[in-house]
Amino acid sequence: MQLQQLVYFLTVAETKHFTRAAQLLEIAQPSLSQQIRALEASLGTELFDRVRGNITLTPAGEALLPIAQRITADVETAQQEVRELIQLRSGRVRLGATPSLLTGLVPEVARRYRRRYPAIRLVLEESGSRDLVAKTASGLIDLALLVLPLHSDDPALETVPLLREDLVVVSSFREPAPTDGRPIAIAQLRGRPLVMFRNGYELRDVTVGACRRAGFAPSLAVEGGEMDAVLSMVEAGLGLAVVPSTVVAGRSTHRVTPIAAPGLSRTIGLAHRRGAQPSRAAQELRAELLGYLGSASVDGTLPPGTELIAPA
């Protein structure tokens, strides 16, 4: 009994037609019939009843069918496992992340991953959460770090929450402090110039939404920037900005003012395309990320204002 013969048997059993099965297998029908007869000879029994062109399984064929399906499935699994092991010695992983996460979380995870798998090319895609959702759903990105909940009803992604991080107000040391040292209420941003992210960034929506809930529309001094540009504009004294605490943790370039209770926070999740198992290389990157976050949570090295909510 040969694996190829089992594949031929399954195709005929599915199509119930030798000519159609031969077309699907891209072989000549006489060759297909010969291989089926050879399989039947090796088993000592007929597998198909051939009556006036109607093809049905004999009792022996019915008994072989689930066994052949298991055998071919096991072979496909073995081939996939080997391919994935090869991927760890070559290939690439495409990781998407918001600008703040690329600045804060990703570098250390990337360093650890590259140390373990130096032959794998890590491709980074920096974008806002909405853009990342679309690119991950379309298969342009293997894994994505983005803000939850998703701004989409499309169930194309599977997500798992990782972190909850506080948002803070940053300002320039060149300008007076926005408060006398106490946390700042959202209402206190009324009339103050704000440096705003471009459309498509979750932080823009969060900031504008918080201001509107407080009863006012934000005053925009500069808008349309990404993370580095926003921080540079704030440092130059052009206005205030609402950013994740992780972005400015350990920096001395900006004044950081917490937001008064109940505050603002966001949840970071890891996503991949639903129904498509990530490659072995992408799975290892996910494991490296979760391992790093778990270790940082235990030893207390998570940035201030950050809470781990990833699964154990």
In the predicted model, what is the mean pLDDT of residues 60-79?
Answer: 88
Mean pLDDT of 13-28: 89
pTM of the full predicted structure? Answer: 0.65
- Closest Cα partner for 201 from 273, 129, 95, 111? 129
- The C-alpha atoms of residue 216 and residue 190 are separated, in whole angstroms, by 7
The per-residue pLDDT for 240 is 97
Q: Output b/e per residue, 151-169; b: 16+ Cβ within 10 A.
A: eeeeebbebeebbebbbbb
pLDDT at 87 over 70: no
pLDDT at 312 over 80: no
Note the pLDDT of residue 155. Answer: 65
What pLDDT digit, counting tens, does each position of 224-237 carry? Answer: 888 889 999 999 99
CATH for 165-265?
3.40.190.10
Provide the residue ranges of all domains of the chain, joining segments of one domain with +: 3-85, 92-155+268-308, 165-265
296 compared with 209, residue with greater pLDDT: 209
92-155+268-308 matches 165-265 in fold? yes
pLDDT number for residue 201: 81
CB 170 within 8 A of CB 192: no
pLDDT given for residue 74 in this prediction: 86
Fold of 92-155+268-308: D-Maltodextrin-Binding Protein; domain 2 (3.40.190)
CA atoms within 13 A on the CB side of 149: 5
CATH 3.40.50.300 corresponds to the domain 3-85? no
